[in-house]
């Protein structure tokens, strides 16, 4: 199994985190998204990272990769077993991408829209804080793919110029500490990501 991974990208980071959580042996090839190797361009019609190659199978959407890994390597399970809970968790992941990841992309692009996106992301995270206070992990007693999607975002907050305040800050700091102290999280970090917190 080979993962072509952008060492600074949220989507690649969450795939690396799930691979580490499941103790999957994988060759991780760091790629520059602006100068992808021919291998990736031949395999992936969209020319994006992450791209996962498992024998003849090629996957290039991080959500699909996460679900494939959870089904291919069922232990530990990172999605609930029953269909209703699985669908609910998939909706959480969708919302994380739509409400938070999209704003990160705008912030990283810079310019005037970045200031608005930074404010909106901070407000959205603050509004979600009570949900995180209820359970050790996102709406769950166990680490899930939702947490694997949120952890890379929280790691990047200082790099994005976002500082939460008040009770939201306390809630997120406690939640982030639980995520960041996991062995898998430490293993998932690239050098570029470590430098984001220096």
Q: Are residues 42 and 94 in the same domain?
A: no
Q: What is the pLDDT of residues 129-142, one digit of tens each?
A: 998 889 999 999 99
Q: Are residues 64 and 122 in the same domain?
A: no
Distance CA 184, CA 85 (A): 24
Q: How far is CA 50 from CA 23, 59, 197, in A?
A: 18, 8, 22
Q: Are residues 68 and 93 in the same domain?
A: no
pLDDT score, position 198: 74
Number of domains into which the chain is organized: 2
Q: What length does the chain have? A: 198
Distance CA 148, CA 185 (A): 9
Domain of 174, CATH number, reads 1.20.1050.10
Q: Are residues 16 and 106 in the same domain?
A: no
Q: Are residues 19 and 63 in the same domain?
A: yes
Strands 51-54 and 57-59, by their bridges, are: antiparallel
- Please state the rounded mean pLDDT for residues 73-87: 94
Domain residues for 42?
2-77+189-194
pLDDT score, position 39: 85
The model carries a pTM of 0.94
Q: Are residues 95 and 160 in the same domain?
A: yes
The tokens describing 73, both together, are: 């390597």
Q: Whose structure tokens read 């939460």?
A: 164
Residue 157 has pLDDT above 90, yes or no: yes
- Please state the rounded mean pLDDT for residues 94-113: 94
Distance CA 130, CA 80 (A): 22
């Amino acid at each position: 199994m080979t993962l072509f991974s952008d060492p600074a990208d949220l989507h690649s980071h969450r795939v690396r985190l799930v691979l580490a959580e499941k103790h999957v042996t994988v060759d991780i090839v760091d790629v520059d998204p602006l100068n992808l190797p021919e291998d990736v361009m031949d395999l992936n019609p969209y020319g994006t990272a992450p791209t996962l190659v498992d024998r003849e199978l090629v996957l290039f959407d991080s959500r699909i990769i996460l679900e494939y890994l959870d089904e291919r390597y069922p232990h530990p399970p990172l999605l609930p077993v029953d269909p209703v809970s699985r669908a609910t968790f998939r909706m959480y992941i969708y919302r994380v991408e739509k409400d938070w990841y999209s704003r990160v992309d705008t912030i990283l692009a810079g310019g005037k829209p970045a200031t608005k996106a930074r404010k909106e992301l901070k407000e959205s995270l603050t509004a979600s804080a009570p949900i995180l206070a209820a359970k050790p992990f996102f709406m769950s007693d166990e680490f899930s793919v939702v947490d694997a999607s949120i952890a890379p975002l929280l790691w990047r907050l200082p790099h994005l110029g976002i500082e939460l305040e008040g009770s939201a800050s306390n809630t997120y700091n406690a939640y982030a500490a639980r995520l960041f102290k996991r062995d898998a999280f430490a293993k998932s970090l690239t050098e570029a990501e470590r430098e984001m917190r220096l």
